[in-house]
Amino acid sequence: MAVPLRVVRTVKALRATIAGFRSRKSSIALVPTMGALHDGHISLVRLARRLARRTVVSIFVNPAQFAPYEDFGRYPRTWKVDIAALAAEKTDLVFAPEVAELYPEGFATRIAPEGPALAGLEDKFRPHFFGGVATIVAKLLIAALPDIAIFGEKDYQQLLVIRRLVRDLALPIKIVGGRTVREKDGLALSSRNVYLTPDERKAAPILHRTLQESAAALVGRGSLAEIMAHGKMAIERAGFKIDYFEARHAETLVPIASPKEGPIRLLVAAKLGTTRLIDNLGVPLKRS
Ligand code: PAF
């Protein structure tokens, strides 16, 4: 008979359940999410199951990482579907707190990340974002104290901010990046793709295509400035308004002027109508 999925709503219950897992010597992987789960999240849950004995998934739409004018209120919430998907994946535990559990009355302590959080990419357009992410991720990690925590590479800058956070706070947790899952036409899966109109959905794969073409041109030793200018034009021609399309050092996110300064990560954020999409791609290292 299928075992019902265990859901806890408080930090106390989360800790007690994880202590039970630990008493049976189980390793723990945590997959933090904001729900509205898609195959990208499910691939992270599967990775967690491969890397640890017990998988814990948190579902919490974190108000602190949304600006007042952003989509916190209308962010997709698909609880029943999410729970069914996690049960099918044999997830051991779901942590789904109310806002007041993680931000109690009088909450007054926030983390202000620097380094990769101030790279001039997402932070330039969403200045509140990484403070909110770092604060909630630190809270989740400290509450669960997993061996491993898994985050999608689609939010590449976020992944680097979290790696830095864990190092700086000396948390004994390994951060693992999960590869980006894409639709057949290359569009990176995202909970926000549901906002796209049919026409926007048709145009959206140009982001990934441009990343691929630019990466290939860089491997072919083309001029970085020309390749990036060409890529920008292609994205704009498809109807996007670009926030950034940049080549950065893959580990530090420092801007680079020549492919020799790599390893390179190409990163893009652009708006199609009212929907903002982000994506990124590593440029394979040359073998010379
Ligand atoms: O990537 C996300 O879904 C969120 O930013 C995270 C890491 C769960 C924090 O709320």
**Using one digit for the tens of pLDDT, what is the confidence trace for 194-221?**
999 999 999 999 999 999 999 999 998 8
In a domain, 139, yes or no: yes
In a domain, 183, yes or no: no
* pLDDT(52) > 90: yes
For residue 95, the enclosing domain spans 7-178
Nearest CA to ligand 1 atom 1: 33
Active-site residue identified among 41, 128, 208, 230: 41
Q: For 98, which DSSP code? A: -
44 lines ligand 1 (CB under 6 A): no
Q: Are residues 38 and 122 in the same domain?
A: yes
Q: Are residues 117 and 221 in the same domain?
A: no
Q: Are residues 170 and 205 in the same domain?
A: no
32: CATH = 3.40.50.620
Q: Are residues 166 and 28 in the same domain?
A: yes
For all residues of the chain together, what is the average pLDDT? 96
122 lines ligand 1 (CB under 6 A): no
- 9 pLDDT band (50/70/90 cuts)? very high
Sheet holding 174-178, edge to edge: 7-8, 93-95, 54-59, 28-33, 148-152, 174-178
* pLDDT(262) > 90: no
Q: Are 199 and 191 in contact (CB under 8 A)?
A: no
32 lines ligand 1 (CB under 6 A): yes
Per the structure, how many domains does the chain have? 2
Mutation to probe ligand 1, out of 57, 58, 65, 99 (largest number of atoms < 8 A from CB): 65
* pLDDT(122) > 90: yes
In a domain, 38, yes or no: yes
Please give the pLDDT value at position 222. Answer: 81
In a domain, 45, yes or no: yes
* pLDDT(2) > 80: no
- 259 pLDDT band (50/70/90 cuts)? confident
* pLDDT(287) > 70: no
In a domain, 17, yes or no: yes
CA 218 – ligand 1 centroid, Å: 31
In a domain, 118, yes or no: yes
* pLDDT(288) > 70: no
34 lines ligand 1 (CB under 6 A): yes
* pLDDT(225) > 60: yes
- Within 13 Å of residue 251, how many CA atoms lie on the same side as its CB? 3
* pLDDT(62) > 60: yes
Domain boundary among 178, 212, 244: 178
Q: Are residues 23 and 166 in the same domain?
A: yes
Q: Are 151 and 162 in contact (CB under 8 A)?
A: yes
- Within 13 Å of residue 74, how many CA atoms lie on the same side as its CB? 8
In a domain, 288, yes or no: no
Alpha carbon of residue 266 to chain centroid: 16
Give the ligand 1 atom nearest the CA of 33.
8
Q: Are residues 199 and 257 in the same domain?
A: yes
Q: Are residues 167 and 220 in the same domain?
A: no
270: CATH = 3.30.1300.10
Q: What is the DSSP code string of 39-57?
A: HHHHHHHHHHHHH-SEEEE
